[in-house]
Amino acid sequence: MTQHLVDPRAPRDLTAFIANLPKAELHVHHVGSASPRIVSELAARHPDSKVPTDPEALADYFTFTDFAHFIDVYLSVVDLIRTPEDVRLLTYEVARDLARQQVRYAELTITPFSSTRRGIDERAFMDAIEDARKAAEAEFGTVLRWCFDIPGEAGLQAAEETTRLATDDRLRPEGLVSFGLGGPEVGVERPQFKPYFDRAIAAGLHSVPHAGETTGPQTVWDALTHLRAERIGHGTSSAQDPKLLAHLAEHRIPLEVCPTSNIATRAVRTLDEHPIKEFVRAGVLVTINSDDPPMFGTDLDNEYAVAARLLDLDERGLAELAKNAVEASFLEAGGKARITDEIDTYTAQWLSR
Ligand SMILES: Nc1ncnc2c1ncn2[C@@H]1O[C@H](CCC(=O)c2cccc(C(=O)O)c2)[C@@H](O)[C@H]1O
Ligand SMILES: [Zn+2]
């Protein structure tokens, strides 16, 4: 009987490598990360909701015809978050899911305006997310920080409210590090939000607006010049403007790339057409993120696997992507060094097996 020896040149199983690779995630939404189990549990608490309680039906419900449809579905899940306990449960479970993927550090984007305008007390909201953040760090070892974002389509009233919640020392949570702008981009010009970003930056927050997801490169330029963006959410259309790509690369402004999100919201037609290769070729600092994982039928590990396929990466290439996210994060230097060292040690051990 011939013995089938494992061919040492055979492609190693990158899935196993990714699953155990220590990671950081910079672009992932609080409500958008509610797992099917959490969403169906919340939907069962609120029978008036149009959100299905059955996880099967939920998978169909999370299939979008276009970006506007995605926002409608997103808001129907926001409507399920009605009490501080809902907020705490959601936040803690999102942290558990992140920890399961070896995420050591995540900057979770939260839209407090959407919850406070739906009646959740602002102080109770802040206490709920902070309780969950501290519990997650103690129990899972996952460090969470917050990005508060303005739902741009809700206009300047939402901008004012979000800025107040993010800069009032009696309210702003300890874990808050950055300030963003989300929702549809079409008809939501970035320059109008300059006064709010100026106040947030003056209060010590980092600027990380979405831009160039569903509109052209001018939106990315506007985010850089008017909102002083330190990172860009998506930035997908930057690939249409070589000068913009060169500027991002020269000034080492990271892109928060969310490949499957761009397909699910129809921002990009197919993964093979995704501009991530152009970003890397231009020398742009690319980070990999999941955006709204359960809604897009993905998770961070899968996004790393997609990046490996699109960029033809081996273990070292994947480790570099993970280190990019650590470098681009707003974690303090000691924490960055710790996670980067862990990534290097893990990768070296894996390759020496
Ligand atoms: N890929 C994404 N690209 C962009 N945004 C994304 C993405 N994923 C998730 N979001 C989130 O969707 C929300 C959209 C909320 C919104 O548009 C809206 C409009 C009018 C009223 C209200 C309200 O609350 O009353 C809200 C944003 O908060 C944002 O954080
Ligand atoms: Zn997003």
* The predicted structure's pLDDT at residue 40: 87
206 compared with 45, residue with greater pLDDT: 206
Domains and CATH numbers, the chain: 12-351 (3.20.20.140)
**Pair of tokens at residue 192:** 């109008």
- Please tell me the residue having the least CA distance from ligand 1 atom 20: 154
User: How far is ligand 2, taken at its centre, from the CA of residue 178, in Å?
Assistant: 14
Cα(28) to centroid(ligand 2), Å:
6
Answer whether 74 contacts ligand 1 (Cβ < 6 A).
yes
Residue bearing the CA closest to ligand 1, atom 26: 151
Most confident of 9-13, 39-43, 321-325: 321-325
DSSP state of 12: P
Q: What is the pLDDT of residues 193-236, one digit of tens each?
A: 999 999 999 999 999 999 999 999 999 999 999 999 999 999 99
Given 25, 213, 256, 303, which residue is catalytic?
Answer: 213
Backbone CA torsion sign across 90, 95, 100, 103: positive
Annotation marks residue 213 as catalytic: yes
pLDDT in tens, 149-174: 999 999 999 999 999 999 999 999 99
Q: In what order do the strands lie in the sheet with 255-257?
A: 210-211, 232-234, 255-257, 286-288
Q: Residue 183 C-alpha to ligand 1 middle, in angstroms?
A: 4
154 lines ligand 1 (CB under 6 A): yes
**What is the largest distance, in Å, between two alpha-carbon atoms of the chain?**
76
Tell me what the mean pLDDT of segment 34-54 comes to. Answer: 87
